[in-house]
Copies of this chain bind each other. A is one copy, B any other.
Amino acid sequence: MAKIGDTLKPFSTQAYKQGKFVPVTDADVGGKWAIFFFYPADFTFVCPTELEDLAGIYPTLQKMGVEVYSVSTDTHFSHKAWHDSSPAIGKIDFFMLGDQNHTLATNFDVLRDGQGLADRATFVVDPQGVIQLMEITSEGVGRNAAELLRKVKAAQYVAAHPDEVCPAKWEEGEQTLAPSLELVGKI
- Taking Cβ atoms with an 8 Å cutoff, the residues of A that contact B are 1, 3-5, 19-21, 41-46, 48-50, 52-54, 73-75, 77-78, 80-82, 84-86, 88, 99-103, 109-110, 112-117, 119, 132-147, 150-151, 154-155, 158, 164-170, 177, 179, 181, 183-187
Tell me whether B116 and A100 are in contact (CB under 8 A). yes
Please determine whether A143 and B168 come into contact, CB atoms closer than 8 angstroms.
Answer: yes
- Whole-angstrom CA separation of A34 from B185 in the bound complex: 27
Q: How far is the CB of A118 from chain B (nearest CB, A)?
A: 10
Chain B: CB-nearest residue to A119: B4
Chain B residue with Cβ nearest A139 = B165
Contact call B141/A151, Cβ cutoff below 8 A: yes
Residues of B within 8 A of A187 (CB): 45, 48-49, 86, 88
Q: List the 5 closest A-B pairs by CB distance, nearest first.
A: A101-B116, A140-B158, A49-B167, A100-B116, A1-B1
- What chain B residues lie within 8 Å of A147 (beta carbons)? 144, 147
- Nearest B residue to A144, CB-CB: B169
Which of the listed residues A74, A80, A109 has the most CB atoms from chain B within 10 Å of its own CB? A74
With contacts A142-B154, A144-B150, A185-B80 taken as known, whether A166 is within 8 angstroms of B46 at the C-beta atoms is: yes
A1-B1, A77-B42, A185-B81 are known contacts. Are A166 and B179 too (CB-CB below 8 A)? no
